[in-house]
């Protein structure tokens, strides 16, 4: 497996409060890696350090084998790191196709926004091809010309995923991508992720509370609790771990038990 995203001994503190302590993980290309844990465990904080929104107090972040600890989000994005967020972020007044095209345009423009205004035919064709491929990959072709405002939560999540696919990123950070989805929508979302990894060879690091999705799509799982990595293993090993069950899985099971 090729190096994707790695962290080594991340330590992140806000004032005197330690949010993440000595967090080490590896999310290789060609795999889906899960990051789970209770609310407030430090998962999103870890994500923010991974994509450059936060600078760790100590420790390192590596992307494709290169140290990017002191590099910002834009540099990491240009290198091939894409991300979605917990809150759905779509342009309601644009069509589905136009929303997805933004992902391709932003990546191609890079540092120079004037390239978007004066893009040549070659760039326009590449945007179009990336957009159509992303729409197909997420099953949104039939809705391509619909206003994004007419879509429900499930389709909005797929739209966000298509947009980041269109960016052509090699490594994706997905922050609770199944939030608000029904059971069937979640299963379909998981199949799309597995297909993308198999077909494109990308790597995915996903923060998720839906354990059915985590256990069905992830190759390896890390567990955070109070900012500390308490376990790492395969889905089967994670489910069987008494440490994980006490810290988190027992709590999740209690929530879904009638």
Query: Which of 115, 133, 168 is where one domain is finished?
Result: 168
Q: Which of residues 168, 190, 222 is at a domain's end?
A: 168
Please indicate, yes or no, whether residues 92 and 138 belong to a single structural domain of this protein. yes
Domain match, 173 and 254 both: yes
Same domain, 6 and 130: no
CATH at 193: 3.40.50.300
**Is 191 found in the same domain as 143?**
no
Return d(Cα 214, Cα 149) in angstroms, integer.
Answer: 29
According to the model, what pLDDT value does residue 253 have?
53
Which of 224, 236, 113, 217 is closest to 161 using CA atoms?
A: 217
Q: Are residues 186 and 153 in the same domain?
A: no
The low-confidence residues of the chain, meaning pLDDT below 50, are 254-258
For residue 258, what pLDDT is reported? 41
Range of the domain at 149: 87-168
* Same domain, residue pair 71 and 115: no
Residue at a domain's end among 152, 168, 184: 168
| Long-range CB contacts (within 8 A, 24+) of 150-155 | 151/90, 151/96, 153/88, 153/180, 153/181, 154/180, 154/181, 154/182, 154/185, 154/189
Cβ neighbours of 188 (radius 10 Å): 15
The number of domains in the chain is 2
Mark whether 182 and 145 lie in a shared domain.
Answer: no
Residue partners of 246: CB distance under 8 A and separation at least 6 = none
pLDDT of res. 128: 93
Q: Do 189 and 248 fall into the same domain?
A: yes
Q: Looking at the structure, do residues 176 and 252 belong to the same domain, yes or no? A: yes
């Amino acid at each position: 497996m090729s190096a994707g995203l790695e962290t080594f001994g991340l330590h992140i503190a806000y004032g005197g409060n330690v949010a993440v302590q000595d967090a080490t993980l590896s999310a290789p290309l060609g795999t889906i890696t899960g990051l789970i844990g209770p609310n407030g465990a430090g998962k999103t904080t870890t994500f923010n350090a991974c994509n450059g929104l936060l600078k760790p107090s100590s420790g390192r972040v590596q992307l494709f084998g290169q140290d990017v600890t002191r590099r910002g989000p834009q540099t990491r994005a240009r290198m091939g790191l894409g991300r979605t967020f917990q809150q759905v972020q779509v342009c309601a007044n644009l069509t589905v196709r136009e929303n997805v095209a933004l992902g391709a345009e932003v990546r191609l423009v890079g540092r120079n926004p004037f390239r978007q205004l004066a893009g040549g035919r070659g760039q326009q064709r590449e945007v179009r091809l990336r957009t159509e491929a992303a729409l197909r990959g997420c099953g949104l072709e039939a809705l391509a010309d619909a206003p994004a405002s007419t879509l429900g939560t499930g389709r909005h999540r797929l739209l966000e995923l298509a947009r980041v696919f269109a960016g052509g990123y090699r490594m994706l950070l997905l922050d609770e991508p199944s939030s608000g989805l029904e059971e069937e929508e979640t299963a379909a979302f998981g199949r799309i992720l597995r297909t993308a990894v198999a077909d494109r060879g990308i790597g995915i690091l996903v923060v998720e509370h839906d354990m059915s999705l985590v256990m069905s799509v992830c190759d390896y799982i890390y567990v955070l609790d109070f900012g500390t990595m308490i376990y790492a293993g395969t889905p089967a090993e994670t489910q069987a771990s008494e440490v994980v069950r006490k810290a988190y899985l027992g709590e999740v099971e209690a929530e879904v038990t009638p």
